[in-house]
């Protein structure tokens, strides 16, 4: 079991989401942004390893316009060594990583053009895992897509497109149950049609379900992951923000709820992504709880490794560092 958080570390002084406007696209800006993003990804992963957080969702913007026609630069070749080093670090430290392509990736769209661009985006993100040398347990997490007033047709279109995906992408795609359109039951039918693993989101399941109790839902979702091809099942964990709109994620981990949730696992192994607004802060608290429950090894007892490396003053993100001072103390978070 690993614990992780998505994309952003609020305590760190770098961003892996450096970008720029399409209107100001240039090869120079692309090179600078990708270099800064990869350097930050490396530092984020090192910070996570030092803390014992071994699961991480990488941001989709490592290569700005990575699937856009404007980007004809051979970034795969230019940054091959950097991607490879990150991949080596991931493998050496038993890290798990994923991408969550954004809402514009809709494999079941009736528009052939939207499907084509969606596949190109998946190819872009999957190719980053390929460059890292990661196997098919590194996943691309997407939703089923739109309903288009015909649930059956929407599901069958997804299955058709999924079966035609390039092999390098097909083996990485996993489908998450969502909170408004496609609940677990529909996702399980997609799995039956295509073999696609189902990434379970407990909060979405609470919002939209067919009455499956949580332990049963977890068991069903876990059963869609092939042990060697797909690895340990991934899941997203979050909870309702008190007194807020239904579906809004909590600002920070509610420990009693998380402890209760763990009771539902009944020994199932999951890598858990905490979709909580305060990011790594809640992930660290969740990790402490798992250590209490002996679901993960105890923290190493030796002297704590440095939490961050020195910032790279040449990186564009350095200006963000000055706006957002480092706030982590070695004692305060473990």
Partner DNA sequence: GTGTGTCAAGCAGAG
Partner DNA sequence: CTCTGCTTGACACAC
Residue 194 touches DNA, criterion: CB under 7 A? no
Minimum Å gap between C-beta 331 and DNA is: 25
Among 133, 195, 223, 247, which residue sits at the site for DNA (rule: CB under 7 A)? 247
Does 100 help bind DNA (rule: CB under 7 A)?
yes
| Burial track 250-272 (b if 16+ CB lie within 10 A, e otherwise) | beebbeeebeebbeebeebebbb
48 binds DNA (CB under 7 A): no
- Tokens 């998380």, located at residue: 258
> How many C-beta atoms lie closer than 10 Å to residue 47's C-beta?
22
Q: Which of 88, 102, 135, 216 is in the footprint of DNA by CB under 7 A? A: 102
**Residue 109, φ and ψ in degrees, nearest 5:** -65, 145
Quick one: which segment of 84-92, 105-113, 223-231, 325-333 binds DNA (CB under 7 A)? 105-113
Q: Which of residues 123-162 bind DNA (CB under 7 A)?
A: 145-149
What are 141's two structure tokens?
């997490």
What does DSSP assign to residue 325? -
Q: Which one among 1, 20, 206, 312 touches DNA, defined by CB under 7 A?
A: 20
Binding residue (CB under 7 A) for DNA from 185, 189, 249, 291 = 249
DSSP letters for 92-151: HTT-EEEE---TT--TT-S-HHHHHHHHHHHHHHHHHHHHHT--TTSEEEE-----TT-H
Nearer to DNA, 223 or 247 (CB): 247
> In this structure, are residues 59 and 71 in contact, taking their beta carbons and an 8 Å threshold?
no
Q: How many residues bind DNA (CB under 7 A)?
A: 46
Name the one range near DNA by CB under 7 A: 44-52, 159-167, 216-224, 247-255. 247-255
Query: Contact residues for DNA (CB under 7 A)?
Result: 6-8, 15, 17-24, 59-61, 64-68, 100, 102-104, 106, 109-111, 114, 117, 121, 145-149, 180-181, 245, 247-249, 275, 277, 316, 320
């Amino acid at each position: 079991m690993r614990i992780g958080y998505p994309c952003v570390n609020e305590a760190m002084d770098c961003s892996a989401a450096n970008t720029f406007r399409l209107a100001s696209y240039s090869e120079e800006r692309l090179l600078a942004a990708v270099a800064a993003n990869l350097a930050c990804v490396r530092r984020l992963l090192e910070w996570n390893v030092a803390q014992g957080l071994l699961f991480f969702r990488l941001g989709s913007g490592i290569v700005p316009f990575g699937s856009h026609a404007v980007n004809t630069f051979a970034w795969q070749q230019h940054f091959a060594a950097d991607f490879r080093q990150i991949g080596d670090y991931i493998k050496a430290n038993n890290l798990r990583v994923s991408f969550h392509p954004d809402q514009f990736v809709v494999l079941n769209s009736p528009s052939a053009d939207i499907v084509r661009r969606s596949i190109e985006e998946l190819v872009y993100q999957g190719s980053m895992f390929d460059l890292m040398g990661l196997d098919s347990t590194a996943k691309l997490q997407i939703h089923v897509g739109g309903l288009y007033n015909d649930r059956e047709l929407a599901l069958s279109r997804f299955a058709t497109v999924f079966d035609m995906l390039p092999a390098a992408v097909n083996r990485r795609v996993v489908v998450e149950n969502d909170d408004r359109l496609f609940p677990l039951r529909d996702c399980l039918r997609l799995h039956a049609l295509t073999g696609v693993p189902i990434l379970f989101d407990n909060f979405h399941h609470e919002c939209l379900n067919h009455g499956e109790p949580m332990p049963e839902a977890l068991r069903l979702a876990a059963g869609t992951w092939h042990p060697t091809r797909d690895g340990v099942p991934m899941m997203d964990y979050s909870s309702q923000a008190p007194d807020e709109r239904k579906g809004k994620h909590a600002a920070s981990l509610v420990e009693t709820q998380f402890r209760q949730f763990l009771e539902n696992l009944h020994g199932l192994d999951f890598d858990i992504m905490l979709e909580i607004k305060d990011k790594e802060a809640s992930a660290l608290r969740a990790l402490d709880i798992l250590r209490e429950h002996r679901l993960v090894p105890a923290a190493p007892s030796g002297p704590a490794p440095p939490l961050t490396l020195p910032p790279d003053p040449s990186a564009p993100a350095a200006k963000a560092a000055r706006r957002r001072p480092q706030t982590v103390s070695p004692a305060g978070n473990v």
